[in-house]
Structure 1
């Protein structure tokens, strides 16, 4: 999360009057940035990761693992070094870590203090830096508090005490039956964002995740813990009137989604064209990595029949009105919009020769007036549609003091809408008056329990981008199939049970014209892998275009590790890249440890975090096979995760034998 604006936030009734103002000036700001920066070049890769933590507060006497709301006290300590350096960079060393708040008052976001560079040795800095972040965070906490890298707190919104300190679920921002407003980041942006989503939508958000049906789970499952008859706010009646579905875990507040943690990777590209190419090529990888990192099987004290956070967050910020959800005819709104603000991408972005219009095969909703303005100002069709699609959304938080801006030096109006389109990929123009280049952000992965796992997945994605650029790889499939893959990725046990659409032939005659990605002295056309020659030849006969464009359903194992006589596999492609560059044996061995984790998660010899957590609950002596994750089960789960994350407990079924 970036720096937060200060000012007076407007309630939706007033903010909606300025929506067109923000959109219009946001487009002017984008055009100013694009025209200044479209020719900007960078010599090498810079990248960084974002790790999010949930702070747990133990009550050992009552065997209760709560979430701590003291994060802002911790941030005040963690941010001292960075603030001192920003004030006087010449006399203070650059900090090794950087810290930001998140939506929840129980969440921390930690990043490296400076971006990682382009060498393979830079990759070996990642795990030590993640370990340092965890150590520094821990030092700011009380003896009964611990930072855990878990996707979601399993008992968020349960009856009884799950917060430290405790608050009753009453508050005018979210009006939730389950969580209080005190759980939200106190910065004015976040309560306003929460309330304005509800006000714009015309009801509370309605999150329904299917319950995992165990042997003693009632059928139909009607949640007895919902306060069906509460009558504090007008929205209290929504649960009884159908918002809470039978056989589902019902949640009614933004905190259930935006209180989830993830692992995000941002890359600075050589130039705008390379950023757009990476955006496109990583888009089909997003669902695969969501399934492979699955680590969120529990919500509001129940085992769910899903393994991932994605649909929970999508529902938690869904501000679409009934008209925009196609539940009523359009009268007051402009568009029928088929997705939440938080979802998978809706179109490819690059003008690379490998792109073909048939890949954008869903009906893209975009603002035609904005599109025409962008085209009239020299923006190509693909990028103009991308931006005008983002700008079908209204700005949700407008600060009165920031209404009037100099569009040549500010990007606040553009970022107001850009940053509240939370998709699997984000294309990020350079900030005004900054040395930062064109960037892309890979956003689908779930946070993992250990620094080793998070490092492995971060490094895997970084190396994959190097292979994509070095070999000119082509991962294009129809965008509708990427959407289908996202739905499959969310399912329980998707890694082992589902098949995903993926391109069969990733080598084409179209090769990128930009520089070789550093570090690379050459893009070898042939490399050795496990005794087999892999031909990495971009000059392929394209007489049969349909065959070369073919995709098929593959298992995660086949996509990651390859299959005999079929798709090469992403790890073999990465190994081919590593074979084509100068890398010392020590670095290669260390990288192999990380890649081995990915390989084994994909082939099923290691569990996903979601599968491990589900089995932990089901094997707990207090579990009654009724889908309920009790206070004591949750306490033991958090304690066990703490031991795993600290290296005190070996879990070979999750991490393998040689991760340490």
Structure 2
């Protein structure tokens, strides 16, 4: 999760005093990197995935599932047995926000050959097996996006009560500070977001109205005036960073051959983000309730929203204490395209630091990249370590990364680290993590293969960025994959607006036309509809037919694409839909939108059995799922 510096964290007041220093030197660090590597090209394709996991304990006697707060200890053991012993170890492990979470990645990035696609699932299996082997009895490593009873009494093991009084990092009514990773970055982030905002974060998620759900659904918080004012009728109220950053996701990073290719991929994939998010929907439950959304994005966006009332536009009149009114949280969709072919589609009013923008222009950086960086730098640094204030700007990038890594957007444009052999990269960030390694591999392979096709065929998915924002809102709704309509470009193969010449320049007209795009279903976008849109899967299949691919790899890729195809058509359920059906059919469910301990236990036990291939789930996975048994699962209820 972003930059993990070691040292003594400063308070918010101290951090704020150094904010201009961090921005000034962050820009100088960016300029050093840019000028050193702006002309770098011919980097080979490399890519990798990041999977986030939760540690879950099953109490079979009392039918209760809890989150195990031992992530730091597990991480230490995994790193000691792995990368510290063998630099070529096939897996890498990193900390995450929750002390019940860890993140796993492949030990080395994947390369550009097609056969690499056939190693993704095997590596994910290695990760799951490696971490699972170190767990206690009746504990499991789960790839679930949101823990259904996160924030409910006793949801952690060991159990802790929240600390809503002054002195705590969250001051949450529901989420104990002990559930936050012990690395000082995480509690400091939590505390400083709250201090900067001037109040606790506010998350209101619409509740799913079932037959016996109270209407209006109203929770009361008599001992907390802040919660009483912030909570909304017919909504599930949450008040801490942990409710967002304590969720899990699946991310993919690509190295491009040059800066121009990275910018082109950044733009094209930005339009795909809401589509993949709806396809991967996996988080319908929050704080022990059934919600009316299927994705975590809006929850996590609100959970780190450090904007003041003034910045959010809630105070009338001229600005008094802040420099800008800011339209979005720092965790949200992108606000500007980076390539020249995207410029005419930049129809969102972009707030930027004008001095930084002018400084970048004077340094020879073009308008589009300059405004992107100047927009990121309207934000304050949220954490700062005493030992990391004064740095060598020519050889370090901590101040740049301080701002860059706390702008958590759907796509991230990543300059190379100083003095490294790493190239220009883009990170694809909206995907919800799936239950099985097969599903997670399918989504990774789909996105990576799509990047190959975008570059090979010079595809053009660009539409006005405001329409992408609308798509992001639709993508989070319940059953968006079946019910939602998404703006998408009709003719993606013309290349008129996206032809990239040898210098990375683009050609095409300067004004977008409304007839370039139309509202489509996910099924149409993914599988195609005659006379409307060719479909991404048919285009990927056409690409595969023209590639030399060994039989095993081709079979694996087609299996993965079949899963995506059937999720898009509705033949297979999304994880979110499957979870809703499971809860709706549970004997304890009273059609009141409440998820009890026993229901949570039954659901997570089933999820873990599916993940470890101990049972079939054709409505979720279909016949494409290859069933190879794991050994040594520690969570079977017969134990």
TM-score normalised over the length of structure 1: 0.91
Whether the 8 Å CA contact 1:45–1:269 is kept in 2: the answer is yes
Partner residue of 2:309 out of 322, 336, 354: 322
Please say which of residues 9-18 and 28-37 is displaced more in the overlay.
9-18
From 323, 329, 339, the equivalent of 2:328 is: 339
Structure 2, unaligned stretches of length 5 or more?
A: 627-639
SS at match of 1:79: helix
- Tell me the CA shift for residue 548 of structure 1: 9.3
What secondary structure is seen at the aligned counterpart in 1 of 2:253? strand
Q: Which residue pairs with 1:654 in the alignment?
A: 620
How far apart are residue 229 of structure 1 and its match? Answer: 2.9
Choose the corresponding residue for 1:183, options 172, 175, 179: 179
1:175-205 deviation line (CA, Å, top 9, x unaligned): 0000111010111111111000000001000
1:156 to 138, 150, 153: 150
What does residue 265 of structure 1 align with?
252
Q: Structure 1: which 5+ residue stretches go unaligned? A: 86-91, 231-235, 517-537
Residue 60 in structure 1 maps to residue 72 in structure 2: no
Q: Deviations over 1:329-383 (max 9, x none)?
A: 41110100010000000110112xx33x330001111110000000000110000
Give the Cα separation in 1 of the matches to 2:445 and 2:290. Answer: 31
Q: Distance in 2 between matches of 1:456 and 1:300?
A: 29
- Contact kept, 8 Å, 2:25 with 2:399, in 1: the verdict is yes
Q: Aligned equivalents of 1:144 and 1:3: distance in 2?
A: 33
Task: State the distance in 2 between where 1:547 and 1:194 align.
Answer: 44
The aligned residue for residue 489 of structure 1 is 475
Q: Give the number of aligned pairs.
A: 618
In structure 2, the partner of 1:558 is 524
Going from structure 1 to structure 2, the CA distance change for 1:579 and 1:19 (only over 3 Å counts) comes to same
CA distance in 2, matches of 1:506, 1:245: 42
* Superposition pairs of residues 14-413 of structure 1, within 5 angstroms: 14-85=14-85, 92=86, 94-159=88-153, 161-170=154-163, 172-223=168-219, 228-230=221-223, 236-240=224-228, 242-328=229-315, 329=317, 330-351=319-340, 354-355=341-342, 357-413=343-399
CA separation of 1:69/1:544 partners in 2, compared to 1, >3 Å: closer, same or farther?
A: closer
2:507 corresponds to 1:511: no
| Distance in 2, Cα, partners of 1:469 & 1:295 | 30
- SS of 1:611 mapped into structure 2: helix
Question: Are 1:74 and 1:140, in contact at CA under 8 Å, matched by a contact in 2?
Answer: yes
* Deviation for aligned residue 1:512: 2.4
Distance 1:632 1:650 in 2: 22
Deviation at 1:658, TM superposition (A): 2.6
Secondary structure at the counterpart of residue 109 of structure 1? strand
1:565-596: CA deviations, max 9, x gaps? 12111111111221222223332222100000
Q: Does 1:8 align with 2:24?
A: no
Whether contact under 8 Å (2:254, 2:425) holds in the other structure is: yes
CA distance in 2, matches of 1:644, 1:586: 24
Distance 1:331 1:556, change over 3 A: same
Q: Distance in 2 between matches of 1:98 and 1:132?
A: 11
> Does the 8 A contact of 1:469 with 1:512 survive in 2?
no
Shift of the 514–57 alpha-carbon distance from structure 1 to 2, 3 Å rule, reads farther
Q: CA offsets per residue over residues 527-568 of structure 1, 9 Å max, x none?
A: xxxxxxxxxxx99xx899866961000000000111101211
Structure 1 residue 654, shift from structure 2 partner: 0.4
The corresponding residue for 1:529 is: none
TM-score, normalising length from structure 2?
Answer: 0.94
The question of 1:610 aligning with 2:576 is answered yes
Match of 2:460 among 470, 474, 478: 474
| Partner SS state of residue 66, structure 2 | strand
CA contact (8 A) 1:81 1:95 kept: no
Q: Could you tell me how far apart the structure 1 residues matched to 2:513 and 2:24 are?
A: 44
Find the aligned partners of 1:361 and 1:628 in 2 and give their Cα distance: 42
Q: Is the 8 A contact 2:468 2:487 kept in 1?
A: yes
Q: CA deviation at 1:6?
A: 1.1
Q: Give the CA deviation at 1:44.
A: 2.1
Cα distance in 2 between the residues matched to 1:179 and 1:548 = 46
Whole-Å separation in 2 of the counterparts to 1:549 and 1:465: 25
SS in 2 for 1:65: strand
Residue 643 (structure 1) aligns with:
609
